[in-house]
Structure 1
Amino acid sequence: MFGLGWPEVVALVVIALLVFGPEKLPQAAAQAGKTLRNLRQMANNAKQDLRSGLGPEFADFDPADLNPKTFVRKHLTGDLEDSWNGASSAAPTAAVASAYADSYSADAAQELGYGEVPPYDSEAT
């Protein structure tokens, strides 16, 4: 949860005790819980409004897919994940690596001898 460990949580509780005092801390915690619950409810309502506004064409739309990291992962490895039928997410990466290794084998690369000039491709520069 938010990358917090036990030492950080204990430090936050001690700071909260010092700021609010032992009398008002339960009220502050209850108010924080209500606020968090209201924010979650508002986010869920906004998500439902967005889905209903987009219509049935976007029934499988997930706002988390708009995260650039998720978007790239889904669209770059989507075909590979479909072919693995629910295998782990590491399987497509291994498949790409092995396909690359197969296409670029040691036989395909010609080693140059000492003093040999590599071929020059004028269209590539």
Structure 2
Amino acid sequence: MFFDIGPLELVAIVVLAVLIFGPDKLPKVIQDVMGVIRKIREFSDSAKEDIRSELGPDFKDFEFEDLKPKNFVRKHVLEKDEYGLKELAEIRNGFDLKQEMAEVTDAVHSRESAPATGSSNGSGLSLSKESPAASGRPDLVKKPAATEPDERPPFDADAT
């Protein structure tokens, strides 16, 4: 409805108003509240007109809603589009992260189920399960062999 007040909440407010003010005083209270709201609106409208007149003729079409950052950017940046931001938004909307992640996941799972042979893209990356010694690279996926409980792990002076 208005101010995020639902119908049940509105009924509860009306019942409370009837209980607090009574049915005979309630119309007078409603008139007083409406009068206060009218006075506040008149005051804010006159303040807006005073500000517009003080700013001068350059700001005759000035709207106070434009002071909100979201509206300011929409009006001054996106409508003029001097920087090509609409094309950037189209590119961003054309990029589907979920689809890209699904393709990467499929590529990883297909590597495990059907190994590729060799590097076809020339980047040096290979999805094959050839031995690390044959490719000249260390095997980072393979876990090292477990050591016996009494045996100490090998010490590498360069690593410490």
- Structure 2 residue 45 is the aligned partner of structure 1 residue 44: yes
1:22 counterpart residue number: 23
3-state SS in 1 of match to 2:66 = helix
Question: Which residue among 98, 101, 121 is the counterpart of 2:90?
Answer: 98
Structure 1 residue 2, shift from structure 2 partner: 1.2
- Relative contact order, CA 8 A, sep 6+: which one is greater? 1
Spell out, residue by residue over 1:90-119, the C-alpha distance to the aligned partner (whole angstroms, 9 max, x if none). Answer: xx96x54334449xxx9xxx9x6358xxxx
1:13 counterpart residue number: 14
Spell out, residue by residue over 1:6-50, the C-alpha distance to the aligned partner (whole angstroms, 9 max, x if none). Answer: 112111111111111112111110000000011111111111111
Change in 2 beyond 3 A, CA 1:114/1:74: farther
| More helix by percentage | 1
RMSD, aligned α-carbons: 2.8
Structure 1 residue 77, shift from structure 2 partner: 1.7
TM-score by length of 1: 0.63
2:138 counterpart residue number: none
Structure 1 stretches of at least 4 aligned residues deviating more than 6 Å after TM superposition: none
Change in 2 beyond 3 A, CA 1:98/1:18: same
User: Percent identity among equivalent residues?
Assistant: 40
CA–CA separation in structure 2 for the residues paired with 1:53 and 1:114: 70
TM-score by length of 2: 0.51
| Bigger Rg, which one | 2
Change in 2 beyond 3 A, CA 1:32/1:114: farther
2:152 counterpart residue number: none
